[in-house]
Structure 1
Amino acid sequence: MKSIVNIPFPYLQGYPEATLAQVQQLMDGKGLGPWLLGKYPQPHGVRTDRALYGYVQDLKQDYLRSTEPLAKVAFDSKLHVVKNALGTHTTISRVQGNKLKSKREIRVASLFKDTPEPFLKMIVVHELAHLRERDHDKAFYQLCAHMEPSYHQLEFEVRIYLTHLETTGERLWTAAAAD
């Protein structure tokens, strides 16, 4: 078996070596893509910014009613490349007269237009949690797990997908949707 110490897994930093060995074994057998497709055969149906806004608002209404309203929710094609992020939350403050008005926005990398719904939900839950918890601390991850009980598993699987994309360049669900 190959030593995986010298093989870079930029999206899987911090995972145990045994887990990385399993990922490497799947990669060697060209099995990451089929494994992900077997687990998640279909992409979600959220294709437009308007549909994404509704999707996010539904989750926000279920779990974070008391937080500030969202002014904008959109897919962003430059997000992954420019900020090396999969989603962002921002607060934009503007002076209006003698008052300071702020608007909250969530942007999701357009990479997630063609993924399974659980992957989209994981990203949205992560960004919604930032409305209440700014830092990636224990309270933040508890809130994520409250909104999506499988949050940690989904985060790992998204990282697996990103590893697959980086090594093969193949978008799985775009090809599946074309069939």
Structure 2
Amino acid sequence: MTVLKYLQGYPAATQDKVRELIAQERLGEHLARRYPARHDVQSDKALYAYTTALKQQHLRNAPAIDKVLYDSKLDVVQRALGLHTAISRVQGGKLKAKKEIRVAALFKAAAPEFLQMIVVHELAHLKEHDHNKAFYQLCQYMLPEYHQREFDLRMYLTWRDLANQRAS
């Protein structure tokens, strides 16, 4: 039985459907049909503009974002797809918090829907720090199909792992 590390929190019946797609070698085809395009947000500058536009659209009163970038170390080192940080620095006599969002570099080659889901997730952390009910409600407010995109992203990560295993 294939261990689905990204889908462990989902019901057994849902996992079985994914296993069936894997057994039939149709998971990649299924994802390509649903998400055929690749986004063109390739630079850190473009990612910053993309993120601030989403923030402006949905979270005008949230703290400003100081830095947004692709991070090639996120996927391997921290097993994270995105990361939000608040770095405190002393400037003069004041303590200032710099808000940063880092997105795993593997999303440079992903579907625009997956990039949007990751950015929405990290933006939600500006208001809600924990993964609680209010956090997911905020994600769904910004992206009504958030839960489906998260599930599909987890299938994409599963497919990517399987492809890497076959290549090595």
Equivalent of 1:149 in 144, 153, 156: 144
Match of 2:53? 58
Identity of aligned residues (%): 55
Name the CA distance, whole Å, in 1 between partners of 2:73 and 2:52: 23
Equivalent of 1:90 in 61, 85, 99: 85
- Please, what TM-score do these two structures have when normalized by structure 1? 0.90
Name the CA distance, whole Å, in 2 between partners of 1:168 and 1:117: 21
Name the CA distance, whole Å, in 2 between partners of 1:57 and 1:117: 16
Match of 1:163? 158
User: Is it true that 1:115 corresponds to 2:149 in the alignment?
Assistant: no
Displacement of 1:98: 1.8
Displacement of 1:106: 0.2
Matched residue type, 1:107: R
User: Is it true that 1:77 corresponds to 2:59 in the alignment?
Assistant: no
- Please, what TM-score do these two structures have when normalized by structure 2? 0.96
Name the CA distance, whole Å, in 1 between partners of 2:163 and 2:126: 35
Equivalent of 2:27 in 21, 27, 32: 32
Gaps of 5+ in 2: none
Name the CA distance, whole Å, in 2 between partners of 1:52 and 1:62: 15
Displacement of 1:82: 1.1
Name the CA distance, whole Å, in 1 between partners of 2:141 and 2:63: 19
Deviations 1:28-74 (A, max 9, x none): 11101000001111101111111100100110000111111111000
Displacement of 1:97: 2.4
SS at match of 1:81: helix
Displacement of 1:122: 0.3
Instruction: Quote the RMSD (CA, aligned, Å).
Output: 1.0
Name the CA distance, whole Å, in 1 between partners of 2:39 and 2:91: 39
Matched residue type, 2:33: G
After TM superposition, the structure 1 stretch with the greater mean CA deviation from structure 2, 125-134 or 94-103, is 94-103
Displacement of 1:20: 0.7
How many residue pairs get aligned? The number is 165
Name the CA distance, whole Å, in 1 between partners of 2:98 and 2:137: 25
User: Is it true that 1:68 corresponds to 2:72 in the alignment?
Assistant: no
